Amino acid sequence: MQQVRLNVLRSKPRDRSTYRDLCGSMNVSIIADNSYLHVGSGREKFEVNLKKLKEVYARKKQIDASVLKGLQLKIGYSEFASTTMGTVIPGSSVKGNVRARLELSFHGFNGNVRSCFLKVSKKGKGSWRYQKVWGKTVFENRGPPCNYTETGDVCLVCDLFGTAGLKSLIEFSDFVGLNVKLEALDLPYGMKVYAAPQGSEFNGEISFMNLKDYELGLLLLGMGIVNGSTGRSVILGRFKYRGLMDNKKFGRVKYKINKISLSKFSDKLTIGNLTINPGSSIEGEKLNTICKELANLSLKHFQNELRIVDEVGILEKL
């Protein structure tokens, strides 16, 4: 049956050239939660018999396809992402994770929806586990994604996270591993990966500008944070939708907010009995309270339009 096309609510994006509303940063940790974590580098290693390679090269004076075939290259371990700072979760991966969670958490209400799907997929595409987790939302007809360069209008999520031709209001640094000791894992079907073991922690910064208080709360919801500064278990990285692999879980993490700081250009943030002034920061128990209040404020603002999905809880039952 043909799905009714939802109207994606779009408007002109806010001005990026001046500071207004809430501007600042969060110090955030990502912790592997009772599972392994693998975020790929895009590089694959191959194991080569160097002695045989030298012998063939000495004879042929060149390396061609026939030589490589004869060497019978073996696939090595897929590398974890890294920079000069060490093992990292790239900021682009974290941003994509948070953004996708929000796109799928918004759903149609009265024929409208707050977010486009940045990457349009055909109905039925994606694993059955993916469909089980996100339910009917993955089948919603939201039409093409926002195209700012053509229309000048964008949905809320594209305004916050950016799209082609439009700078993001929220930026993510790389999340650097804190003494992470990768393990070489041999998995079913010949897959080999370097993975961070459970408890591994990665730390990074998320900066924001020109956000309303409920939008700062929405950012927290995108990290699975609802009831305090530490969120529920959510999925991230490779194999996140798979079941056990060689009796090992993959892709379960928790986001933890360590500090929220406002820049001197920011408005002050007052929520409940707590206030963060421009140029100051908040940590500890007060941070725990303000994270909860911000998340609840966002849930109230987007009532009937946004749902909380316990993605890990659903996967555990499959």
CA gyration radius, the chain: 22
- Residue 103, pLDDT score: 97
**What is the torsion angle, in degrees rounded to the nearest 10, for the CA atoms of residue 14, residue 117, residue 223 and residue 86?**
-100
Closest CA to 138 of 146, 147, 148, 128: 128
- Residue 127, pLDDT score: 85
What 3-state class would DSSP assign to 293? helix
Largest CA distance in the chain: 79
Residues of the chain with pLDDT under 70: 1-2, 42-50, 52-53, 56-57, 60-75, 120-126
pTM for the whole thing?
0.90
Tokens of 182: 């990768």
Tokens of 26: 């969060």
- Residue 295, pLDDT score: 98
Q: Phi and psi of 306, rounded to 5°?
A: -135, 135
- Residue 243, pLDDT score: 87
Closest CA to 232 of 105, 103, 88: 105
Q: Are 123 and 157 in contact (CB under 8 A)?
A: no
- Residue 41, pLDDT score: 74
Instruction: Tally the residues of the chain.
Output: 318
- Residue 111, pLDDT score: 96
The two beta strands, 183-186 and 192-195, are antiparallel
- Residue 190, pLDDT score: 83
- Residue 272, pLDDT score: 87
- Residue 206, pLDDT score: 99
Which residues, including other chains, have CB under 8 Å from residue 192's CB and lie 6 or more apart? 75, 76, 77, 78, 184, 185, 186
What 3-state class would DSSP assign to 194? strand
- Residue 178, pLDDT score: 97
Amino acid at 293: E
Which residues, including other chains, have CB under 8 Å from residue 234's CB and lie 6 or more apart? 97, 101, 223, 224, 252, 253, 254, 255, 311, 312
